[in-house]
Structure 1
Amino acid sequence: MASSSLTHTGSGAPAAIARWLEIVAAFVVIIVLVGGITRLTESGLSITEWDVATGVLPPLSESAWVSEFAKYQATPEYRLEASVGGMTLAEFKFIYFWEWFHRLLARLVGVIYAVPLVWFWVKGAIPKGYKGRLVALLALGGLQGLFGWLMVRSGLVGDMTDVSHFRLSLHLLTALLLLACLVWTARDMRRLLIDPALPPVRMAGGSIVVALILFIQLLLGAWVAGLNAGHAAYDWPLMNGRVVPEIDFQSGFLWTLTHDPFLLHFLHRWWAWIAVAALIWQAHRTRRADRRASIALNAMFGIMIVLGIATVLSGVSLWIAAAHQLVGALLVAATAWAMHADRSARQSANLSGKASH
């Protein structure tokens, strides 16, 4: 028998599930930040194996540290890059920490999501129609972790000194999709507090276009990070003193579009303004439905632009670039919130209109 205080017909269950999802979303934001630091410090290839259980603990003895260091020394990144300037065991411990911490957070998020999900399920507290979505979010989180390991593996073969920027973008964008879905579902739960009979909010119309524009900007940003293309120019708004950088298309248009650091840096800079225009439109549409969501969206893309420019002018300062990625995650969360508020208001208006007829 399900607890009367946590049945889907009462207000307790949706509120509790919404808080749980918002906590998980906050942890995903932290993981994105730590992932950015891991990339910026070139720590991602410091752990060459994936041990789900034993990998929870870092090396606990000096001999264990030496063994882990030896595994890293066998990677192409160390042989072709890190060994040139020399690397001490202490320096290795620094980069190892960030990759280990990133993986630890991923495991923690899995537990924070899976355990309450089972508890809500057993208690019969999940509102009708949401079990499949909540299980799908769990699967998406697991898939994101798999993409992370496939990304690491891409940097451990042949003469690769970095991970594949395609796999990096897949890993990052899956995390951001998970974040957006968590926020969206949490808002659905809070909507049930108003009326338990309300259907889930569906994305439609202009919101889909805004999402696509933002997706392209995030994809470009992931490729810029994966190819270290942020170092292609340290001036703004010009790039190395030019409005349009010199681009060599001899390798073909498609290869250049997906690999050339100068072109990708240029596109990421200027597509950002198309994304800003789309987000301004979305924020304006959201203002009447939820003023706080509209303000949050305006604030996030404003800060994002400032930090993007600062990242360039600072020569890709570690903490400014990390803050840029952090705000990128917060921007995704704010966009999901604003879109949901907008669509919720319009969907409710449509339902009211049909009921009046």
Structure 2
Amino acid sequence: MRLWLYAVALLVLIMVLVGGATRLTGSGLSITEWKPVTGALLPLTESAWLAEFERYRQIPQYELVNKGMTLAEFKTIYLWEWGHRLLGRLIGLAYVVPLMFFVWRGTVRGRLMITLGAIGILGGLQGAIGWIMVASGLEPGMTAVAPVKLMLHLIAACAIFLGLVWVATGLGARSPVDRASAQLRGSASLLLGLVFLQIALGALVAGLDAGLAFNTWPLMDGRLVPATHTLLPLSPWWVNAFETVATVQFNHRAGAYALLAVSFWHAWRAHRLASGSAAAHGAVAIAALVMLQAGIGVLALLLQVPLWAGLLHQGTAIILLGACSMHRRRLAQPLRVSARTVVPAI
């Protein structure tokens, strides 16, 4: 079961990367209909391709951004989006079929079945969330999906990934948690929450193409903290957190600084409370990974987010989320294990 859940989590990671590539290549609006079943098939004839192309030519993105695109160019962006949707369907099968087998065997029941069932339901809803996101980009005057809906789509994927890693890490018998490790749970939980929040802020950066502006570091618009009229041009003030490029990028920068500080603080606490333990080694490794991710983020910003840098930054963020989930789960109480069922302690 642990290998199965980790394998599905790996597929979700790949799904996020393909989704990022779809976003960065401007391919997400190339399929203008949501067909959960028949949409799994590619257009098989030239006339079918032309029909898909004609539907794309009716949306604002074609008229305002890609007018004059050839059929061959359309096929390239179509295949990115089709591959993204097909991978989602494959993940559903890879999750549901083994889960049904484990339930039939009696291996999964009780609280664990409810937890895994909830993850499966969220996975099913993710398809609908994805279509709501795409539909926002088909509205008049829109050339890309709404940033907030892009953020919701990404954090739903992250929640699925987090749940899979959390449950997989907790499966099986483990030794009791010592007092020092128990004292680290609070800061480990804070670290996990900050990583999740930082990914959400990064989705807004992607949605507004905010990484293409203010491409200097550590200064932004010539200052460590941009002027108020740069950060808060819209009213009410809170709208800027979702719609103003400067504010969205500054929030993501500030989140990175906060994440760095908390990761170093957590590593220091782990070293002081449980020096030489697995918990201490894990905390130090996470701090190093946060520092690496911050460096990748700065590089992506300075280079104006080429495809490889954007995907590397996004992929490392998901790996960091998984590492924090595993670290926090290992600080939790051990599982109660019987002959036929594995029940996670909450």
TM-score bracket, normalised by the shorter chain, equals 0.7 to 0.9
Secondary structure class of the residue paired with 2:138: coil
Which of these residues, 58, 67, 73, is aligned with residue 51 of structure 2? 67
Structure 2 residue aligned with 1:223: 204
Secondary structure class of the residue paired with 2:222: coil
Aligned positions of 1:337-348 closer than 5 A: 337-344=326-333
- For the 8 Å contact 2:263–2:283, the answer to whether it is kept is no
Which of these residues, 194, 197, 201, is aligned with residue 213 of structure 1? 194
Question: Do structure 1's residue 104 and structure 2's residue 81 form an aligned pair?
Answer: no
Structure 2 residue aligned with 1:306: 295
Secondary structure class of the residue paired with 2:171: helix
Question: Do structure 1's residue 41 and structure 2's residue 22 form an aligned pair?
Answer: no
Aligned positions of 1:78-227 closer than 5 A: 78-83=62-67, 86-126=68-108, 128-190=110-172, 192=173, 205-227=186-208
What's the CA shift for 1:284?
Answer: 5.0
Structure-2 change in CA distance of 1:344 and 1:281 (3 Å) = farther
1-structure distance, mates of 2:69, 2:281:
49
Question: Do structure 1's residue 236 and structure 2's residue 207 form an aligned pair?
Answer: no
Deviation string 1:76-110 (CA, Å, 9 cap, x unpaired) is 11112221xx3111111111111111111111100
- For the 8 Å contact 2:201–2:252, the answer to whether it is kept is yes
What's the CA shift for 1:228?
Answer: 0.7
2-structure distance, mates of 1:67, 1:292:
57
Deviation string 1:278-332 (CA, Å, 9 cap, x unpaired) is 2334445567244664354234312211110111111111111111001111111
1-structure distance, mates of 2:333, 2:270:
10
2-structure distance, mates of 1:243, 1:295:
28
- For the 8 Å contact 2:122–2:160, the answer to whether it is kept is yes
1-structure distance, mates of 2:85, 2:246:
31
For residue 171 of structure 2, what is the amino acid of its counterpart?
M
Unaligned runs of 5+ in 1: 1-16, 196-200, 348-357
Structure 2 residue aligned with 1:54: 38
Secondary structure class of the residue paired with 2:103: helix
2-structure distance, mates of 1:184, 1:100:
30
Question: Do structure 1's residue 76 and structure 2's residue 54 form an aligned pair?
Answer: no
Question: Do structure 1's residue 320 and structure 2's residue 309 form an aligned pair?
Answer: yes
Fraction of identical pairs, as percent = 41
Secondary structure class of the residue paired with 2:332: helix
Secondary structure class of the residue paired with 2:331: helix
Q: Structure 1 residues 210-219 or 160-169, which shifts more?
A: 210-219
For residue 308 of structure 1, what is the amino acid of its counterpart?
G
TM-score (norm 2): 0.86
Deviation string 1:54-73 (CA, Å, 9 cap, x unpaired) is 11121122211111111111
- For the 8 Å contact 2:170–2:330, the answer to whether it is kept is no
Q: How many residues align?
A: 321
Unaligned runs of 5+ in 2: 177-181, 272-276, 337-346
For residue 233 of structure 1, what is the amino acid of its counterpart?
F
2-structure distance, mates of 1:174, 1:308:
22
Question: Do structure 1's residue 263 and structure 2's residue 244 form an aligned pair?
Answer: no
Q: Structure 1 residues 57-66 or 97-106, which shifts more?
A: 57-66
Question: Do structure 1's residue 27 and structure 2's residue 8 form an aligned pair?
Answer: no
2-structure distance, mates of 1:277, 1:95:
40
